Chain A
Amino acid sequence: MLEIVLFYIASAVALAATIMAMTRTNAIHALIYLIVSLLGVAVIFYLIGAAFAAALEIVIYAGAIMVLFVFVIMMLNLGEAGSQREQQWLKPSIWLGPAILASILFVELLYVLSAVEGTASVGAIPVKEVGLTLFGPYVLAVEIASMLLLAGLVGSFHLGRRYLERSDEFFNQPNAVIKETNESNDSNEAAKTNEQNLSNQKTAPEVAWKD
């Protein structure tokens, strides 16, 4: 019974945080709400006896993937002056919502951990069984997942490489930056010509590599 109440609280927090995340206009604020939503789902996992899945949800989803989002958003550095935004981030109205939702989850977690006997462990699937199943019948799926991750690595490297080379150009030639920002109004044409220039520049070393 108690477990059900805790489940309802956690799922209400997750749903509220998800709705808030989808309706924010600032990407970072949405990201904070999204992390709270993932934490709520992790509490649900814990309550239904999938403790290992809960740990993975926090470590990989709320940790690694969200950090990737933060990196990219910070790297894009959208509009506005940096210091002004920093000041804006410290306003309570921005972090209060996620903090309240996260503290509800935290109190719930403390309660569950202090009342270990009787709740949350009735039909828990042991991690050992998960591991045996993963590397037993599902070993082919592990191989496929590894190939998928490799493809993701190669793909993201290929997509991000040109961006990184471009920022190198920016740092090396300050004149090019000014020219670039002036032309940014008709962005399609400018982007296309820059693209051609870039590909022309790049053909030489690529041919050299092939030899």
Chain B
Amino acid sequence: MEGLNVPLNHILLVASMLFAIGMLGLMIRRNIIFILMSLEVMLNAAALAFVAAGAHWGQADGQIMFMLILSVAAAEVAVGLGLVLQVQRRFKSLDMDNANRMKG
């Protein structure tokens, strides 16, 4: 193990727990804002796994992937929050179960 004092499997464990919490939140919440937050948590957990692996092998590639994930998250949240505005305007609530029909 070079370049990393923390065991890699512990970091991956934390990353997977964060991902699991995010996924659980995605499944149990019906508010679209909370769904977007859960997506952020899941993307963040994936980024943590990338950076940890990059640090484990002493390569910069992990941080490159982190930056790409960051830009994906930024684009996703911009479009997602635009959708939040549309859902709020159309259904007068943020409950995603209102939008379970296409062409509603």
Q: Could you tell me which A residues sit within 8 Å of B by CB distance?
A: 1, 3-4, 7-8, 11, 14-15, 18-19, 21-22, 27, 30-31, 34, 37-38, 41, 44-45, 47-50, 52-53, 56-57, 60-61, 64-65, 68-69, 72-73, 75-76, 78, 119, 122-125, 129-130, 132-134, 138, 141, 145, 148-149, 151-153, 155-160, 162-163, 166, 184, 187-188, 191, 195
Contacts and interface: CB of A to CB of B under 8 A. Distances in A.
B77 A149 contact: no
Nearest to B5: A3
Main secondary structure of the interface of B (DSSP, over half): helix
- Interface size class of chain B, counting residues whose CB lies under 8 Å from the partner chain: 35 or more
B55 A18 contact: no
Contact of B84 (A8, A56, A76, A134): A76
Nearest to A4: B6
Given A22-B24, A156-B79, A41 B48 contact: yes
Contacts of B73: 61, 65
Interface string B31-47: 10110111011001001
Contacts of B44: 37-38, 41, 61
A158 B58 CA distance: 42
Contact of B89 (A45, A123, A134, A163): A163
Contact of B14 (A14, A145, A148): A14
A53 B79 contact: no
Interface of B: 2-7, 10-11, 14, 17-18, 21-22, 24-25, 28-29, 31, 33-34, 36-38, 40-41, 44, 47-48, 51-52, 54-55, 58-64, 66-68, 70-79, 81-86, 88-92, 94, 104
A166 B40 CA distance: 29
Given A15-B17, A22-B41, A50-B63, 15 more contacts: A18-B22, A22-B24, A27-B34, A34-B37, A34-B40, A41-B44, A49-B3, A72-B33, A122-B5, A141-B68, A145-B67, A148-B72, A149-B74, A159-B83, A187-B90
Contact of A73 (B5, B10, B33): B33
A69 B37 contact: yes
Contacts of B58: 123, 125
A155 to B, nearest CB: 5
A134 B22 CA distance: 29
B9 to A, nearest CB: 12
Contacts of A4: 5-7, 10
A106 B75 CA distance: 30
Nearest to A3: B5
Contact of B78 (A14, A48, A145, A155): A155
B93 to A, nearest CB: 8
Given A56-B70, A145-B71, A155-B79, A44 B64 contact: no
Contact of A37 (B10, B41, B60): B41
